[in-house]
Amino acid sequence: MFFVLGLSTAALGAALPSLRRIYDLPDQDGGWLVSAYNLGALAAILICGLGSRRLSQRIALRTLLALFTCGAIAMGVVGTWPVFCIATVLAGAGYGGLTLYLNSIVARHSSDDSFSILSRINAVFGVGAILGPLAVSAADTHARAVFLVAGVLAPLGIGVDKLEQPSKSRVPPSKATTFRTHRRVVVVFFALGFLYAGLETGIGASEATHLDRVGHTAVTAARIASLFWVGLCIGRFLIPTLARTQAPRRIVRLSLVAATGSLLAAAHPPIAPIAYAACGFFLAPVLPAVLKWIAQTMEDNQLANALLFTASMTGSVVLPALVDVLTRRSPARSIPLSIACISITAIATTFLIPRLLQSGTSIAASSANGVSPDS
């Protein structure tokens, strides 16, 4: 299932230059399509998150799988641009809901080694994401066929509705904190998820456009764009082993710093393909490490994960669209530089979380001892 989700998600950004030609769109139009896909994902996450106690997990998973299947197949066969956009939103809804459910289930079943296991299952997503742009480049003017294939393969994941959802958190209460104690920490984690998702999705949505604008053909740009997902996939297999003993916050910070450097390097056209691949490698451990960080911090990590994925989908909708608007009439190098600004902001948020945790713990201890924080 993760493979199919990765295939369609990565293919969408890489297919933009070809889709503009297929539907006879202006050269800079359609950049918001990835945001529309993620808008559907965001809507599904909000519905699934807010209604998690009322919705049957099996029914929800089957419904989401049906949405993704129908949307992806429609993307592969429809002949008009408006209908293609509607199908994209439907496929995005299925993608978002399935991502939330599957990551949350795996994280809670494997809390003792969540970083490694989450990294590996997201590496499978990365394998699909590698093949997506490569398939788009091979299909050329038939790029929509990639979405048709994803839709046909998706029903093979029907078994996901049999996964069991644990009812209780495995985080030791003595080490966990509640939302009431750390409201500000939740907000910063939300901001970090928002920024990271915008960073990853922004690269996936804009890389092929950037390469197209600096002189590569649409086919070559789509092929090169797969290197980012190659780096992401390799990193998710290798880095958990290399960084097993490192604290999650250290992994997140170092990864974001290295990714920022890679994006700055991507502003130079001769080394842009290698720089994007390196950026994918360095970003690989960020999401699994953030999920582990939350699990070590929050008592209700299921709710925290729902909030994180809500933030992620919000960032995936807003930030790529913002990058598209800001760079549409700017030099090509403004694309990676704008995305680098998102990465720098994400780095800043990682330094806020420990301070807020320490502050919140002090306030909670004072309250428990009957001492007013303001006394």
What does 53-116 look like in DSSP terms, one character per residue?
TTS-HHHHHHHHHHHHHHHHHHHHH--SHHHHHHHHHHHHHHHHHHHHHHHHHHHHHTGGGHHH
Structure tokens at 114: 């969540």
Give me the pLDDT at residue 57, please.
75
Residue type, 282: F
Three-state DSSP state, 177: strand
Q: Tell the burial category of 366 from Cβ atoms under 10 Å away from its Cβ (0-12, 13-18, 19+).
A: middle
Three-state DSSP state, 268: coil
Give me the pLDDT at residue 360, please.
53
CA–centroid distance for 43 within its chain: 15
Contact 94, 67 (CB under 8 A): yes
Give me the pLDDT at residue 188, please.
87
Q: Residue written as tokens 């995005």?
A: 92
pLDDT, averaged per 10 consecutive residues of the chain (375 residues), comes to 88 85 78 83 81 74 92 91 93 89 68 66 81 84 88 80 51 48 76 92 88 85 84 83 79 95 94 94 89 73 70 85 87 93 95 75 48 43
Three-state DSSP state, 176: coil
Three-state DSSP state, 26: coil
Who's near 94: CB < 8 A, 6+ residues apart?
40, 44, 64, 65, 66, 67, 68, 69, 71, 72, 154
Sign (positive or negative) of CA dihedral 302, 307, 310, 315: negative
Structure tokens at 136: 């788009």
Q: Tell the burial category of 319 from Cβ atoms under 10 Å away from its Cβ (0-12, 13-18, 19+).
A: buried
Q: Residue written as tokens 């902001």?
A: 345
Query: What letter would DSSP give residue 246?
Result: S
In whole angstroms, how far apart are CA 260 and each of 96, 136, 346?
A: 26, 27, 10
Query: What letter would DSSP give residue 372?
Result: -
Ramachandran category for residue 80: left, alpha or beta (phi over 0 → left; psi -120 to 50 → alpha): beta
In whole angstroms, how far apart are CA 57 and each of 106, 327, 371?
A: 14, 41, 44
Contact 249, 38 (CB under 8 A): no
Contact 204, 277 (CB under 8 A): no
Nearest Cα to 2, choosing from 117, 123, 144?
123
Give me the pLDDT at residue 292, please.
79
